[in-house]
A and B are shown apart, each in its own frame.
Chain A
Amino acid sequence: MAAFSVLFTESFEPMRRLAYLLGADDPENIAQEAFVRLHDRWQTLYDESKALPYLRAMVVNLSRSRLRHLKVVRKAPPDVVLDEMSAETHAMARQEHRRIREALGKLSRRQREVLVLRYWMDLDQATIAETLGVAVGTVKATTSHAMTNLRKHLEEG
């Protein structure tokens, strides 16, 4: 299990930040839970290189579940969560970043996911497709639509 511990040390913080950027309100818990689930599957991962993609996909799925859950139970749409987080650091954020943050909050869940995975995690389209469980073509189209919408929201703002 040394490999699991090494992966945890290397990837816990990035996974926590990924959950945060996806709009989850409790990124610490999501990253922890993703690692617990990875640990459950550890013996069935024939290749340890599969661990990180599994972890990324798990963080995305858990973040989705969390947002969906809050939306249903608390009547709080996911965008509100992101906006509230942005409000917290409003005073410190630069005006430019604040505008982009607000525009990101207006995108659909999947559009935000592809942008975060592409422009923060620097994943290529095939890896994003694997993480989200969609076709590469879908990633291309979603990225294009997301950038168009982001540009539109920035212009409107």
Chain B
Amino acid sequence: MDELERRLRSALADMAEEVPPSHNAWAEQERRLALKSHGSRVRPALLAAVAAAVVALVAVPVTLLSLRSPSQVDHASMPTGPVSPTAPTERSDANKTFGPTWSDHGYREIPGEHLVVKPSYVTSAKEGGNLHVVAYIVTKDGNPNLVLCTVVVPESAEVNGLDQRGAPFCREVPAQSRKLVRFQMLTPDSAEQGLYLFVADPKVSTILLRRGEDDKYTEAYQIGQAQTVVLLLGRTNSPLPPKQYSAKDANQQYIENG
């Protein structure tokens, strides 16, 4: 080995040592595998639903036309203006939960609180001792606004259960927002610094974050989902909040910058 090779080996070994140790890598891997398997289970169901809708769209008019002769068509009853969309309200959608079936923490119902996004493991709690920080989204007291909560619980314990450590830390997500990325919150009680939770429109698949202290980027990814909202987690490993973000859809297309 010549001198340059020796110097190169030494420098590479030195650089590799700069990478900080990873916390809970296996838990993170299990979560990704669970989300992926959930997605693959949802896809056939989604395709079946789309196919059923197409069949219905074709079959219903054909059936109606076959039942009525052309002379029987009542033109007066046909709509002449644009049909106003009957979009479901935030409240009704928010109450429909279809988050990942995998979750290592259950949720115990409490009066006045409705679960929207199931509890999902975020990181280890700074207290250590197999305590987890989990995040979930609820609505409270009939108010349609979403509330993002985190709480410390022992491994595999349920939220609002007897083993929960202290009260949840909750923040209300602003109701009126034209942004796809609606809300951001630093995870409290975390053993890691710079762990951010994001509440976003379901169109958002991942969020590219520009770190506060430099121009390095990191990616936030989904850890929970419901019909009208997704919950994402990003590690900046920085004491400063992210400077900028770019939200991407499932096709990796940029759909919002902020």
Contact = CB atoms under 8 A, between A and B. Distances in A.
Interface of A: 5, 8-9, 12-13, 16-17, 20-21, 25-29, 31-33, 35-36, 39-40, 69-70, 73-74, 76, 81, 84-85, 87-89, 93-94, 96-97, 100-101, 104, 115-116, 119-120, 147, 150-151, 154
Interface in B25-42: 25-26, 28-29, 32-33, 36
B22 A25 contact: no
A17 B19 contact: yes
Nearest to A27: B19
B26 A84 contact: no
Interface stretch (B67-75, B94-102, B150-158, B213-221): B213-221
B64 interface: no
B218 A101 contact: no
B57 interface: no
Contacts, number: 96
A123 B8 CA distance: 15
Chain A interface, >50% SS class: helix
A112 B4 CA distance: 15
B128 to A, nearest CB: 20
B238 to A, nearest CB: 11
Contacts of A69: 252
Contact of A93 (B14, B16, B235): B14
Given A96-B11, A120-B9, A8 B29 contact: yes
Contact of A97 (B5, B14, B36): B14
Contacts of A101: 11, 15
A27 to B, nearest CB: 6
Interface residues of B, number: 34
Given A8-B26, A9-B26, A84 B214 contact: yes
A97 B218 contact: no
Given A29-B218, A73-B254, A97-B10, A89 B18 contact: yes
Contacts of B29: 8, 12, 32, 35-36
B28 A120 contact: no
Nearest to A65: B252
27 contacts: A8-B25, A8-B26, A8-B29, A13-B19, A20-B15, A25-B216, A27-B19, A28-B22, A29-B221, A32-B32, A40-B36, A84-B214, A84-B216, A93-B14, A94-B14, A96-B7, A97-B15, A100-B11, A104-B11, A119-B5, A119-B9, A119-B12, A120-B9, A120-B12, A120-B13, A150-B4, A154-B4
Interface string B33-57: 1001000000000000000000000
B19 A16 contact: yes
A81 B215 CA distance: 9
B9 A26 contact: no
Interface in B131-189: none
Contacts of A21: 12, 15-16
A84 B211 CA distance: 12
B4 A151 contact: yes
Given A13-B22, A35-B29, A84-B214, 18 more contacts: A8-B29, A20-B15, A21-B15, A25-B217, A29-B218, A31-B25, A36-B32, A89-B18, A96-B7, A100-B8, A116-B12, A119-B8, A119-B9, A120-B9, A120-B12, A120-B13, A147-B5, A154-B4
